[in-house]
Structure 1
């Protein structure tokens, strides 16, 4: 575990930011071509049937308990027109939109019940089940700039982590060994990757947030979790030049550096959303590169009870918080420390995998990267500024109202941050399908018609 940054001269060193330890229903949409009509109890059944036929509507469902019918409106008729037809009939008690309910997804992964960070009945975690109904991060290329990833069977030394077998990997680079095989020899990058995109619904192990995202491993830290600022900066540029839409950096250093800042600026200007750890020193200042606030989303850590973790750095550059855990407590009473659970290995046994609880801002950061992937999968044209806005403006506020130095804008809420596929009505009553921009509203409030 690296809770503090060691600086070496003349080459500055970045360290991983982790603290390793072993050990409903949504109603976001309605059917655009269906309405619900409740007829009065006194209405004649034959007259009701005749009206439906005359209006050209089709019956989708009728209740055996009340005179309630779900009707499919004919092509060329707007939702508003259809509703007005029935509103003007004195045999009708009410007419409304046909809202659609969806069962929230619960992964089949057996250790999902230990992932309090994704969801728990007391505090809610980051509210993943409802978010999974909207997005799985399909195809969003996310670079894990770290110690590498156990992503491939390579030679006699390295093996793919079994619970990453379903992940789509994009070719990356190893800036420590200068080759095209960025395999993990520390365990940190593999754990981070699991939170972002662990194989999910595969009946083994744990779940990942954006399990259909594509992962680009970029190794910039060595087997001790250390790397120079130059290597990290070059890893950032590599990811930006090779198609990454998100860069996750669960690492940091305490001093600024021009070459590093130039790299994050370069990636940001290429449309990459950059997310980095605030640091584990309990300090009143955020580490670099997270502190480059114009380009990077800085992530602090919280505990099971949604209080700031004791080690999490604060400061004016902090943007958001996410679960990072606390290895000193078991607040949820599950018999384990309140860490973030994912599959990795304990070096030097690079091919022996188990599930480990890690804690730290390193573990908080991939929660936000995963949510960013869910957002971009909904609309790949979103800019880094828009992704930041979705995440920050929908966060669950903690501490003083609004932004504060301990929580930033609050704890990331995956379901709130991922935009809905929304339906709105124009003034002419025509139905529009599409993603509503943050802050926009439908022209008619849900349920008002």
Structure 2
């Protein structure tokens, strides 16, 4: 029963609306609101991820690895003393793609005892870091429903249900983009619950993928072995309290299929619904099953999906240009997630992540709070923030997620492919349903990124780097049609497929060109910034004349300086103004700015991370 022995994080439960293909809709909809995350007292685990320092015996010797862990268990003063510590009998399970080791204990530890063990491991000079093999969850809520030149798909449910593509207020402007790009030639990995490969509306759009769940109870496969393919065996839970104390029984979600549908469901084929990048290929990667999925499995999935090496797994023949992760858990970004994400980005893969559904600051939601990801908040059909969306400086932009029952059916939900079964896939047929959550927002952004990269390639342009693609998506996002409260920021706006493509295909400047810079939006912080000592990143801001302009950095660790010039790129010796105090709290103010572009250079005086930058005028 290993799935009950792992740390349960951020339970994001939901309810689902389903409509069987060709059937009448139910008369009385059932809706459920998202559950709150499990408390620390409800969370337990029997897995620890340990990265040993290079050059130590433990880095290469299995016995030395276990000796370090046993020593930490002995020092941790666990209930039951040395006998309890000895009974835990740690085992090295495997080495992750990021180079850390997964260690399994023979019985689970409560949160307080687990933190003692981690503290002792971190104090050992042979250990670079130690992290709980945490349990992550999908980030959705569900419900059960009632029934120009622009391409207007002939998919029968498109016009009535998929407002999130076409609504001028709450949608992403997809129809205007489809005349330019449909995502051909791009691979989007959906790291999730897997896929229903026989669904009627994915014809030709699916690659084989892989199942990374390494626990048979979670996966519902016969063994713990990881296997090719990513069939969703169902993530239903039979009984209350089965995943952790206080957890509830629930039906299978078919979450990965729904998310993949937003990315690339077959379109204009006279069947079901439409997808955004409907000529892209989806690479399904299964990491979530019954009661969620483990951090170790997710980290390996990120590595493999982006073309990295994972021991014992065949090389990925179709590395993804974009990864979507509509999943997460509570807590600060850990070294395991960050190492896997950094590896993916270094291989040229954009990582798009749901911001989470706790209605709190994204600083407590991983991996959305990690560096080098595009964190996506959720908006309603009105274009306003949803009641559940996480918020904060680390949210980059937003996309439709559905406001739930407050906006009714179909406008309260995002609609895509599912199964009619409430348990196993073989007991159901191809179906379509409405879900809500930042899980649903994230694939809209991933799919628009696929449209952009496809268009660049088709027009003989270089594909964007992950940083360039993130900057483009943020700078071209449509301004929110309603005011987002200052206390709950959710990025630069709503992702806009047409605007992103127009910017991506602009004629490139060849003479008298201004510097290339990442645009800032007034009063919208850019968070999670990191860099090495000596690194430089250039930003720009379009200022009005005469109104006080303030440029500020804050938060995080390390030391940065800020140099600013109007109309040209500043340097450390030539600038209009600067702020170079020790640390990260820098302020540059112009009391009487002129109209035009101000260029802001952020310089790492030493390595820094978690820094935010904002322009206020």
Tell me whether the two structures share a fold, i.e. TM-score over 0.5: yes
The equivalent residue for 1:221 is: 288
The equivalent residue for 1:20 is: 142
1:141 aligns with 2:187: yes
1:165 aligns with 2:194: no
Shift of 1:164: 1.1
Cα 1:206–1:403 change in 2 (3 A) is farther
Q: Secondary structure at the match of 1:275?
A: strand
**1:348 pairs with one of 402, 414, 423:** 423
Shift of 1:438: 9.1
Deviations 1:17-63 (A, max 9, x none): 0012222x5xxxxxxxxxxxxxxxxxxxxxxxxxxxxxxxxxxxxxx
Alignment gaps of 5+ in structure 2: 1-11, 14-33, 47-132, 215-223, 236-253, 308-315, 458-462, 520-617
Cα 1:270–1:414 change in 2 (3 A) is same
Within-5 A mapping of 1:41-440: 103-113=149-159, 114-121=161-168, 123=169, 125-151=171-197, 160-176=198-214, 177=224, 178-184=226-232, 185-186=234-235, 187-224=254-291, 226-241=292-307, 242=316, 243-255=319-331, 256-286=333-363, 287-292=365-370, 294-330=371-407, 335-336=409-410, 338-345=412-419, 346-350=421-425, 351-380=428-457, 381-398=463-480, 405-419=488-502, 421-422=505-506
Cα 1:231–1:423 change in 2 (3 A) is closer
Cα 1:190–1:423 change in 2 (3 A) is same
The equivalent residue for 2:538 is: none
Q: Is the CA contact (8 Å cut-off) linking 1:14 and 1:229 kept in structure 2?
A: yes
Deviations 1:213-260 (A, max 9, x none): 111111111134x01111111110110123111110000111232111
Q: Is the CA contact (8 Å cut-off) linking 1:172 and 1:217 kept in structure 2?
A: yes
Shift of 1:15: 0.3
Stretch deviating more after TM superposition (194-203 or 124-133): 124-133
Cα 1:162–1:284 change in 2 (3 A) is same
Alignment gaps of 5+ in structure 1: 26-102, 152-159, 428-435, 440-449
Tell me the TM-score normalised to structure 1 length.
0.71
The equivalent residue for 2:556 is: none
Whole-angstrom CA distance in 2 between matches of 1:353 and 1:207: 14
Cα 1:425–1:327 change in 2 (3 A) is closer
Q: Is the CA contact (8 Å cut-off) linking 1:174 and 1:181 kept in structure 2?
A: no
Q: Secondary structure at the match of 1:309?
A: coil
Q: Is the CA contact (8 Å cut-off) linking 1:318 and 1:405 kept in structure 2?
A: no
Whole-angstrom CA distance in 2 between matches of 1:404 and 1:410: 15
Shift of 1:274: 0.1
Whole-angstrom CA distance in 1 between matches of 2:411 and 2:384: 16
Deviations 1:64-86 (A, max 9, x none): xxxxxxxxxxxxxxxxxxxxxxx
Whole-angstrom CA distance in 2 between matches of 1:128 and 1:403: 28
Shift of 1:268: 0.8
Cα 1:170–1:179 change in 2 (3 A) is closer
Q: Secondary structure at the match of 1:207?
A: coil
Q: Secondary structure at the match of 1:328?
A: helix
Q: Secondary structure at the match of 2:398?
A: strand
Q: How many residues align?
A: 340
Shift of 1:174: 3.2
Cα 1:112–1:323 change in 2 (3 A) is same
Q: Is the CA contact (8 Å cut-off) linking 2:201 and 2:266 kept in structure 1?
A: yes
Deviations 1:173-196 (A, max 9, x none): 333451112111240100000000
Cα 1:403–1:299 change in 2 (3 A) is farther
Cα 1:423–1:372 change in 2 (3 A) is closer
Cα 1:317–1:251 change in 2 (3 A) is same
Whole-angstrom CA distance in 2 between matches of 1:383 and 1:106: 32
Deviations 1:314-345 (A, max 9, x none): 112111110000221236xxx53510011102
Stretch deviating more after TM superposition (172-181 or 190-199): 172-181
Q: Is the CA contact (8 Å cut-off) linking 1:330 and 1:338 kept in structure 2?
A: yes
Whole-angstrom CA distance in 2 between matches of 1:406 and 1:188: 27
Whole-angstrom CA distance in 1 between matches of 2:422 and 2:44: 24
Shift of 1:124: 5.3
